Structure 1
Amino acid sequence: MLTEEEMDIPPYSLSKSEKKEFLTRHLAALTRHHYESCTEYKKILDAKGFDVASVSDYAQIPFLPVRLFKDYELKSVPADAVVKTLTSSGTTGQKVSKIFLDKNTSSAQSKVLTKIVSSFIGKQRVPMLILDSSAVIKNRAMFSARGAGILGFSMFGSDRLYALDEEMNLNVDAIKAFLEKHQGETMFLFGFTFMIWQHFYKELKKSGVKFDLSNGVLIHGGGWKKLVNEAVSPEMFKSALHDVCGINHVYDYYGMVEQTGTIYVECECGRLHTSIFSDIICRNPKDFSECLFGEEGLIEVVSVLPESYPGHVLLTEDVGAVLGEDDCPCGRKGKYFKINGRIKNAEIRGCSDTYAAEAKNAAK
């Protein structure tokens, strides 16, 4: 478990060797914990003949395919210790992942998310415009990745407004009043990529309404598959939003419900960054060896946060490439990388992509 002193380490401050020692120590301890506490995880590692006492490099730890959480209820704590169950996004008929959180894991996720996001928007809470509908927040004990994302990021808002009503219509009058109330203040905006494009940008473009969000900072994630199909690139996305509301600071992020809290945020140079609490390894799909910088492979994600379930070392269904480490012009240390897409035949996964697929099916 992370100590308070470790929580206070700036999220992009450790050098390559320092971070490797930090991650190996914590991930080795988590591997032993899950081996002792989760029967299914123990069976997997025993079947591989892996010695949990011999970890000298976190890259050696066997990964679990992220899809495993769709088929098994994996937890490393007693059932009565679970305080929250997160579910991944999934279209109708798809299985969803179930992630079981105890108090310690949930708290650590919130604290690390705060550290990462604060390094981009500052530590002071600011007015927040949520580019979604409050209808997505239902059962707090068990909710989807989209709802979890909104609730997690809401902690950064001193005053919050949902930009969409329950029918996903743009609440123009309420937004105007909110902007007038907080005129001149820095504003934090959060939403999922497709929802922002479909229900915020397109509606503003169609109506001709102009908002002044030049003091705004937008963090958004998920849903690029649908926008790529519409021939919308990240550069076009940023430019289009600037045209309708004047926003200059737009940051994408990569993350998943299986490792909530350890998100990877895009820097000013357009690169996704790992923090000290997590890392990315690109694996060659043929032999799972580690790829060289710039070489495309399957994305493995590691996180020091999952204590209540064995989600600390996962192989995703995404492909991408690590571009470098410790030398991004933005000044942040750690690996920086890009995501190129999903492996062929992988299920639609992202919150925004799921919403888009469901909307399309409902229209048929």
Structure 2
Amino acid sequence: MITPEDIFHIGSKKEFEKITLKVFRYQYDTNKVYQQFCQFLNKDKTNVKSIAEIPFLPIQFFKSHDVISSNEPVQHIFTSSGTTGMQTSKHLVTDVRWYEQSYRLGFSQFYGNIEDYCVLALLPSYLEREGSSLIYMVKDLIESSRHEDSGFYLNNYAELVAKLQKLNREGQNVILIGVTYALLDLIEYAQATSFPLEGLGSNLILMETGGMKGKRKEMIREELHAQLSAGFGVSKIHSEYGMTELLSQAYSMGDGLFECPPWMQILIRDTEDALTYVPEGKTGGINVIDLANINSCSFIATQDLGKKYPNHSFEVLGRFDHSDIRGCNLLVV
């Protein structure tokens, strides 16, 4: 039996490897979709002895199959966004407490006590649909902050600008988390109405979740972050790397370099051979180990391109050609 205590208290590389292999064996036994995929690659519990030998399930399986490693009833279904007629991913969650513990501990590792912040969320395209794991997380962070001004904003930019200015005058630490196109829209609104945002930098953490959602042209990260920095008067743009198919998030506190919590790890696979890995600093496909995904699949081969660096940070560079456009920090270069 693998418990939250096992997953969320990993303290060393050796411990991570031990728990990861234990999770692999558990999911091989309990997840029929994953087991069949492993068998197709001639992999099983007897011949997988290291993390490098673990098969990573292509993320597209969350669109076509029920990826689940539990006999318990499904408590919650998270779904990805998509245009009309597009097949969307679904993440079947049998115990949502794993997700809650993952994002709460992950956030506190990078940002400290949530009660030190007022949390403002500008996530219109996520609020306009059901099943968003991002909305579930941010709603909980808003409530956990216990700040009377914390909340969601749809398209009410005037109220949000006024709130940001008020909180800045009060010296309140603020996290503004927003989908990319809406943050750019907010800057343009403030400029057009002569409500300056540039002076907010000292107490503001600006966190973009990626995604133009077809509202604006895609930009390279450097161009986007330059516009956001100038518009809000902050020196660094923070980012969150997460997706429907994961129950953990990596965070960037600037310069597009992400770090994972201890129960999550990134590997970079060769774009020509999905079963081999490339050296640090070389571009490849992003594989994610997310041990919080204990009841679905912890080994996901994403459609994202990236690089990993010696200090275990990583960079997201774009997506494979012909992949679906999906907003969660997937910036096209």
Please tell me the TM-score bracket, short chain as reference: 0.7 to 0.9
Tell me what 1:344 maps to. 321
CA distance in 1, matches of 2:160, 2:27: 48
User: TM-score, with normalisation over the residues of structure 1?
Assistant: 0.78
Q: Where do 1:102-117 residues align within 5 Å?
A: 102-103=94-95, 106-117=96-107
Q: Give yes or no for contact 1:302–1:314 (8 Å, CA) kept in 2.
A: yes
Deviation for aligned residue 1:152: 5.1
Q: Which stretch shows the higher mean deviation, 248-257 or 216-225? A: 216-225
Residue 279 to residue 54, structure 1, CA distance change in 2 (3 Å): same
Tell me what 1:329 maps to. none
Deviation for aligned residue 1:306: 1.0
For residue 257 of structure 1, give the secondary structure of its aligned residue in structure 2: coil
Amino acid corresponding to residue 321 of structure 2 in structure 1: K
Q: Give yes or no for contact 2:318–2:330 (8 Å, CA) kept in 1.
A: no
Deviation for aligned residue 1:66: 0.2
Q: Give yes or no for contact 1:23–1:304 (8 Å, CA) kept in 2.
A: no
Deviation for aligned residue 1:300: 0.8
Tell me what 2:121 maps to. 130
Deviations 1:184-215 (A, max 9, x none): 11112112222222x32222232221144220
Q: Where do 1:46-61 residues align within 5 Å?
A: 46-61=39-54
User: TM-score, with normalisation over the residues of structure 2?
Assistant: 0.85
Residue 45 to residue 286, structure 1, CA distance change in 2 (3 Å): same
Tell me what 1:67 maps to. 60
For residue 69 of structure 1, give the secondary structure of its aligned residue in structure 2: helix
Deviation for aligned residue 1:303: 1.1
Amino acid corresponding to residue 206 of structure 2 in structure 1: L
Amino acid corresponding to residue 85 of structure 1 in structure 2: I
Q: Count residues with an aligned counterpart.
A: 324
Q: Give yes or no for contact 2:319–2:330 (8 Å, CA) kept in 1.
A: no
Work out whether 1:99 is the aligned partner of 2:85.
Answer: no
Give the counterpart of 1:296 among 275, 278, 283.
283
Tell me what 2:205 maps to. 217
CA distance in 2, matches of 1:218, 1:156: 19
Deviations 1:77-129 (A, max 9, x none): 23x621111011211111111111122xx222222222222233221412111
Q: Say which structure is richer in strand.
A: 1
Q: Which stretch shows the higher mean deviation, 152-161 or 54-63? A: 152-161
Q: Give yes or no for contact 1:225–1:341 (8 Å, CA) kept in 2.
A: no
Amino acid corresponding to residue 266 of structure 2 in structure 1: I
Deviation for aligned residue 1:295: 1.2
RMSD of aligned Cα (Å): 3.0
Unaligned runs of 5+ in 1: 326-334, 355-364
CA distance in 1, matches of 2:127, 2:192: 25
Deviation for aligned residue 1:270: 4.0
CA distance in 1, matches of 2:134, 2:191: 25
Q: Give yes or no for contact 2:28–2:44 (8 Å, CA) kept in 1.
A: no
Amino acid corresponding to residue 38 of structure 1 in structure 2: N
Tell me the percent identity: 22
Tell me what 2:166 maps to. 180
CA distance in 2, matches of 1:135, 1:35: 33
Q: Where do 1:202-281 residues align within 5 Å?
A: 202-211=188-197, 212-214=199-201, 215-223=203-211, 229=217, 232-260=219-247, 262-268=248-254, 270-281=256-267
Tell me what 1:192 maps to. 179
Q: Give yes or no for contact 1:324–1:337 (8 Å, CA) kept in 2.
A: no
Amino acid corresponding to residue 297 of structure 1 in structure 2: G
Deviations 1:252-273 (A, max 9, x none): 122211112x212113454112
CA distance in 1, matches of 2:100, 2:134: 16
Q: Give yes or no for contact 2:180–2:210 (8 Å, CA) kept in 1.
A: yes
Residue 179 to residue 241, structure 1, CA distance change in 2 (3 Å): same
CA distance in 1, matches of 2:129, 2:323: 28
For residue 279 of structure 2, give the secondary structure of its aligned residue in structure 1: coil
Deviation for aligned residue 1:47: 2.8
CA distance in 2, matches of 1:46, 1:94: 29
Residue 344 to residue 189, structure 1, CA distance change in 2 (3 Å): same
Tell me what 2:309 maps to. 323
Deviations 1:246-294 (A, max 9, x none): 334421122211112x212113454112331111111112223110111
For residue 194 of structure 1, give the secondary structure of its aligned residue in structure 2: helix
Deviations 1:314-345 (A, max 9, x none): 111111111223xxxxxxxxx11111111111
Tell me what 2:21 maps to. 28
Residue 67 to residue 155, structure 1, CA distance change in 2 (3 Å): farther
CA distance in 1, matches of 2:251, 2:164: 27
Deviation for aligned residue 1:62: 0.7
